[in-house]
């Protein structure tokens, strides 16, 4: 009989972190992954010499879980500038972090986006989580949370910075454009943006889970690719995982760490609500800009939330002499003609000659994070059965890693290991 201490279903970030923690503690751990590679939502494909992540994704090294469990230096992270360029009615303007990019302060002040009253309201909104993040979390748990849009309205955040910068930028981060996300969650995200400098691993976003998988294997965990679980049964002395086209696998405990769209089919939990994004990847013969910043369309003339010359920041993403452009929209909101028309407006470039490499429809880009903010969910959901994932903590790389570690600690306690 194929028997282990713990079976982990899913080789995404949460599953890999859980497996590493358990194997490091001396348990016999096997990871069953349905796909042909590790990564879950963090996957990268080589297409005609380009590296295309499955949807535009960045890694923020300021996340506590990333600092603790990821060797960021080994990933060769290529960081974006801390700022954005914004297309306004009269042309492109620039906003840059004043202490990270002091040479751009004059351009920032001249942008016309910095209304003093709105800045004061934003400062009052952002200061508490930056100074005391735990207070923000505890306040949300106590019911002091609301929809982001409601909180901005209450505080008077209603000027050009909100309409032309924050709303389109955060729509691309949260995968929703109505401000329905938890205000406390967004404040904590803004704290991470303020402290960190997000970027791209030189080998693509999949380099992150590949590093975590190597750590899990070094600790003794086994990774089996192409093993799709179709059900979990609880026998008298073990949990049994039935595998499509294969023999069942038995263990004292099973951690379900699959994507949010699959979790309800394997564990007795409600399917979490998710939000989707769409990313268009284009091959440009010349760069439309010398700036490495994310570009936003403050005029809101089309579906594109943000665009960037990705290879300007991470040259490894494109062959020599070519340029990789991303344009991200809400899922189902754009046509190719819409995207090209808006990119032409933003950059003033002739985009008709740019070759479309791929369109990624990421239907379950991230779990919805409605108020009130919930930072943890029970680890054990049934006899010998546990669930991990960012949909059980916070919708982020931080949430996935923290969830995997938290659930592993609960398994260790239950097994008295």
Task: Calculate mean pLDDT across residues 87-105.
Answer: 91
CA atoms within 13 A on the CB side of 4: 25
Q: How confident is the model at residue 128 (pLDDT cuts 50, 70, 90)?
A: confident
Calpha distance 330→363 (Å, rounded): 10
CA distance linking residue 121 with residue 168, whole number of Å: 19
Classify 240 as helix, strand or coil: strand
Cβ 360 vs Cβ 279: under 8 Å: yes
CA distance linking residue 377 with residue 251, whole number of Å: 23
Q: Which residues are registered as beta bridge partners of 267?
A: none
Which of 185-194, 362-371, 396-405 is predicted least confidently?
185-194
Of 137-141, 252-256, 289-293, least confident by mean pLDDT is 137-141
> Which residue has tokens 């939330």?
305
Kind of pairing between the strands at 29-33 and 91-96: unpaired
Confidence of residue 345 (pLDDT cuts 50, 70, 90): very high
In terms of DSSP H, where are the helices of 163-293?
Answer: 167-174, 183-195, 207-218
Which CATH class, in words, describes the domain spanning 3-42+206-272+373-414?
A: alpha beta
CATH superfamily placement of domain 44-80+274-367 = Guanine Nucleotide Dissociation Inhibitor, domain 2 (3.30.519.10)
Q: Do domains 3-42+206-272+373-414 and 44-80+274-367 have the same CATH topology?
A: no
Give the whole-number percent of the chain exceeding pLDDT 70.
Answer: 97
Q: What is the pLDDT of residues 44-67, one digit of tens each?
A: 999 999 999 999 999 999 999 999
Range in 37-46, 82-91, 124-133, 264-273 the model is least confident about? 124-133
Of residues 98 and 400, more confidently modeled: 400
Residue 138: pLDDT band by 50, 70, 90 thresholds? low
Nearest-angstrom CA–CA distance, 46 and 33: 21
Q: Give which of 347, 410, 351 is closest to 376, Cα–Cα.
A: 410
SS3 414: helix
What does the pLDDT read at residue 16? 98
Mean pLDDT of 99-106: 88
Instruction: Give residue limits of the domains in the chain.
Output: 3-42+206-272+373-414, 44-80+274-367, 115-195
**Cβ neighbourhood burial of 320 (10 Å; 0-12, 13-18, 19+):** exposed
Strand ranges, E, within 287-371: 294-297, 304-309, 323-330, 355-367
Q: What is the pLDDT of residues 258-286, one digit of tens each?
A: 999 999 999 999 999 999 999 999 999 99
What pLDDT is recorded for position 226? 98
């Amino acid at each position: 009989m194929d028997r282990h201490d713990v079976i982990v279903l899913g080789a995404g970030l949460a599953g890999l972190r859980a497996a590493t923690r358990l194997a490091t503690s001396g348990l016999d751990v096997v990871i069953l992954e349905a796909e042909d590679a590790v990564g879950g939502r963090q996957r990268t494909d080589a297409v005609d010499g380009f590296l295309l992540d499955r949807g535009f994704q960045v890694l923020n090294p300021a996340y506590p879980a990333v600092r603790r469990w990821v060797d960021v230096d080994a990933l060769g992270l290529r960081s974006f500038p801390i700022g954005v360029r914004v297309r306004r009615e009269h042309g492109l303007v620039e906003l840059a972090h004043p202490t990270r990019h002091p040479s751009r302060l004059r351009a920032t002040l001249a942008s016309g986006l910095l209304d003093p009253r709105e800045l004061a309201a934003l400062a009052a909104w952002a200061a508490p989580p930056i100074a005391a993040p735990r207070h923000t979390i505890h306040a949300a748990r106590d019911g002091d949370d609301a929809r982001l849009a409601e909180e901005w309205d209450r505080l008077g955040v209603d000027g050009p910075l909100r309409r032309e910068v924050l709303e389109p930028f955060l729509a691309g981060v949260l995968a929703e454009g109505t401000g329905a996300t938890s205000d406390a969650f967004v404040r904590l995200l803004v704290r991470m943006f303020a402290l960190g400098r997000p970027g791209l691993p030189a080998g693509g976003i999949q380099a992150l889970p590949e590093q975590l998988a190597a750590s899990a294997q070094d600790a003794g965990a086994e990774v089996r690719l192409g093993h799709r679980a179709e059900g979990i049964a609880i026998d008298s002395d073990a949990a049994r995982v039935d595998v499509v086209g294969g023999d069942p696998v038995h263990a004292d405990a099973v951690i379900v760490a699959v994507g949010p769209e699959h979790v309800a089919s394997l564990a007795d939990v409600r399917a979490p609500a998710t939000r989707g994004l769409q990313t268009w990847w284009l091959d440009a013969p010349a760069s439309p800009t010398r700036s490495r910043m994310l570009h936003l369309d403050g005029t809101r003339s089309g579906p594109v939330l943000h665009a960037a010359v990705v290879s300007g920041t991470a040259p490894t993403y494109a062959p020599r002499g070519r340029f990789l452009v991303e344009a991200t929209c809400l899922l189902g909101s754009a046509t190719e003609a819409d995207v090209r028309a808006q990119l032409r407006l933003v950059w003033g470039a002739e985009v008709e000659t740019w070759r479309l490499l791929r369109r990624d429809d990421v239907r379950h880009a991230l779990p919805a994070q409605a108020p009130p903010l919930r930072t943890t969910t029970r680890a054990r959901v049934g006899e010998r059965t546990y669930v991990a994932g960012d949909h059980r903590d916070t919708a982020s790389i931080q949430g996935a890693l923290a969830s995997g570690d938290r659930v592993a600690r609960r398994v260790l306690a239950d097994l008295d290991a």
